[in-house]
Amino acid sequence: MSNYTITTNFGAKDSLPSGNAGKVIKGSEFTTEFTNIQTAVATKLDLTSGSAANLTTTGTLTNSGAMTTTGVSTFNGAVNFASTTAHAGNATFSDNAKAIFGAGADLQIYHDGTDTHIVETGAGSLKIKGNFLQLLSPDNEKFFEGQANGASSLFYNGVAKLDTSNDGISVTGQNIKLTGANPIFYLLDNTNTNTCSLQNSDGHFLYRADSLNQIGNSKHTFQIDGSNVMRIDNTGMGIGTTSPTEKLDIDGDSIRLRQSQTPASASATGTQGQIAWDANYMYVCTATDTWKRVALATW
């Protein structure tokens, strides 16, 4: 865009004395000047339409229609868009330059040169919505995956370890660890009172509990291959029976103490009720530090 420059000095001609040939203004001179004016006006930016190269403004530029720029535009002041903006290319933000959303700057997204931040400070919640949602590493290794009206999974090293389904959760691995000063693990139904259980992949109960609120006749049953091996209730512990009648009730024809023990003397340290054996005697502690024995014989 060029500026109009006067090529004929009409003022100088007018100041010449009468009779001077240069004082006469020729029609061709007017034609030249008007041609120059026409050319200059044609290259100027029309405020309602048109195009311009290297447009520079030092004040406020207001555009109420469409504006297309094909080069790099630099704005040193604020730019206000009252309507939708469309980007066919990238929107680039420098370090610590924030994309801010909300009247109170409730949501901010930015990169500080080291870390990327998504900061939500409004009174409501930060909601991430999608029918199928994944959290991935830059190499597409899965961290989390979930779908609407379906399953969700947590991953370790790209392998699902915790999966949800319509009937509960599935844990893949050998260990479930509880850490802390007083770790507690509960198996409860939605009423905190009814039967809950652990099963293996064949559907056999490994553990079954009734009345888990521990009020009334609480029962805890352990099974192997579908058979009861131990029951604990408020009466006692039953081994091989689901109806213990004593503190320890064993439904079997023998018990085993794997290690032998020989009290040093009849007054050796002991607690009433202790039982011990060695190759020659069976020992019973009948009172504190008081032992009695019976000889063992072959037959």
Residues contacting 86, CB < 8 A, separation 6+: none
Residues contacting 223, CB < 8 A, separation 6+: 204, 205, 206, 207, 208, 229
Q: For position 203, what pLDDT does the model report?
A: 65
Q: What is the rounded CA–CA span in Å between residue 27 and residue 33?
A: 10
Query: What band does 215 get if pLDDT is binned at 50, 70 and 90?
Result: very low
Beta-bridged to residue 136, according to DSSP, are: 142
Query: What band does 22 get if pLDDT is binned at 50, 70 and 90?
Result: confident
Which backbone phi and psi does 96 adopt, to 5 degrees?
A: 70, 0
Q: Of the given ranges (7-11, 43-47, 112-116, 139-143), which has the lowest mean pLDDT?
A: 43-47
CA angle 282, 285, 287 (to 5 degrees): 155
Contact 68, 88 (CB under 8 A): no
Residues contacting 33, CB < 8 A, separation 6+: 6, 7, 8
Q: What is the rounded CA–CA span in Å between residue 117 and residue 96?
A: 10
pLDDT for 144 beyond 60: yes
pLDDT for 234 beyond 80: yes
Q: What spatial distance separates the first Cα and last Cα of the chain, rounded to whole Å?
A: 126
Which backbone phi and psi does 46 adopt, to 5 degrees?
A: -80, 130
Q: For position 206, what pLDDT does the model report?
A: 66
Query: What band does 185 get if pLDDT is binned at 50, 70 and 90?
Result: low
Average pLDDT over residues 205-217: 61
pLDDT for 192 beyond 60: no
Best-predicted range by mean pLDDT (66-75, 88-97, 187-196):
88-97
Q: For position 225, what pLDDT does the model report?
A: 78
Which carries the bigger pLDDT value, residue 84 or residue 206?
Answer: 84
Name the DSSP class of 158: T
Contact 106, 121 (CB under 8 A): yes
| pLDDT tens digit sequence for 256-293 | 999 999 999 999 999 999 999 999 999 999 999 999 99
